[in-house]
Amino acid sequence: MADVGNSTSDARQAAASPSSSTPPTGLIDLRGQVALVTGGSRGIGAATASLLARMGAAVMFTYRVRQQEAERVEAAVARDGGQACAVQADLSRRSDCERVVEEAVQRFGRLDMFVANAGIWPPTDVGITEMTEAQWRETLAVNLDSVFFGTRAALRRLQPGGRIVLVSSTAGQRGEAYHADYAASKGAIMAFVKSVAVEAAPHVTVNGVAPGWVDTEMARDPYGQDGGKGRGRIEQSIPLGRVATAEDVAGPIVFLLSPLARHITGEILNVNGGSVLCG
């Protein structure tokens, strides 16, 4: 694992400049740019970190406890000729958010993009009258406090022309019964996007993406309900007929981080296969 504090001077020198050897894909060329992605050891975060590296960016991503998964993402990016390094952090803590931002700048010399993706979704249905204060506070700390701390720290270090993307959810748009803690945290992110977009302009764009159902470990329990029929019922509620892959969400995130989206700020991009259109 990459450890800025224990790196040798040679390793520091080699990592000081973002890689320019990775060929860009299509119209998006992010060579010379540096991105920080939270929650990058799996799912949407891992797909986003990998795609950014394919576009030529140098990427630092965080993980909380899944070190082996983070190492696999690093190795896969390296095999593809990209540059990514992982750093452990508990992003519900202000100090950890500030530390990883500084480590990204220290390692790569700059910061151009910040993606706040880390989050949790407690899988057990819990009505609001039964929800514990501990669950409520943990969900908001991981899903919302981390966005506040991370965005604030990133804004202090982003280059002019920098971009921020915050990952919300369709649950923040229409609510989610028995998961009020999750829905509240994701709805707050949407309001946060719009607020910070105005404050950060004209030098930094701030946007959000709102995924629906995604084929990740987080949704494993509802997909497996009734002997695996849960996923089929969910897919029937999506006009495009399937749940998204992590890559389906990573693409729109990278678009919002790219020069192609330079005149977009304060927007929430829905990535849900049309599910919010069906009530």
The per-residue DSSP string of 139-195 comes to HHIIIIIHHHHHHHHHHTTPPTTEEEEEE--THHHH--TT-HHHHHHHHHHHHHHHH
Residue 184 — left, alpha, or beta (φ > 0 → left; ψ -120 to 50 → alpha)? alpha
Distance CA 140, CA 151 (A): 15
The token duo for 151 is: 């965005």
Which residues, 6+ apart, have CB-to-CB distance to 159 below 8 Å?
110, 111, 112
The per-residue DSSP string of 13-57 comes to HHHSS----SPPBTTB--TT-EEEESS-SSHHHHHHHHHHHHTT-
Q: Which residue among 63, 178, 182, 223 is the active-site one?
A: 182
Between vectors from CA 271 to CA 186 and to CA 122, what angle results, nearest 5°? 40
Distance CA 27, CA 36 (A): 21
Active site (annotated) includes residue 178: no
State the residue for tokens 């799912």.
43
Please return the burial class of 87, using the count of CB atoms within 10 Å of its CB with bins 0-12, 13-18 and 19+.
buried
Q: Residue 3 has what DSSP assignment?
A: -
Give me the amino acid identity at 31: R
Nearest to 142 by CA among 159, 158, 120: 120
Distance CA 242, CA 273 (A): 8
Residues assigned a catalytic role: 182
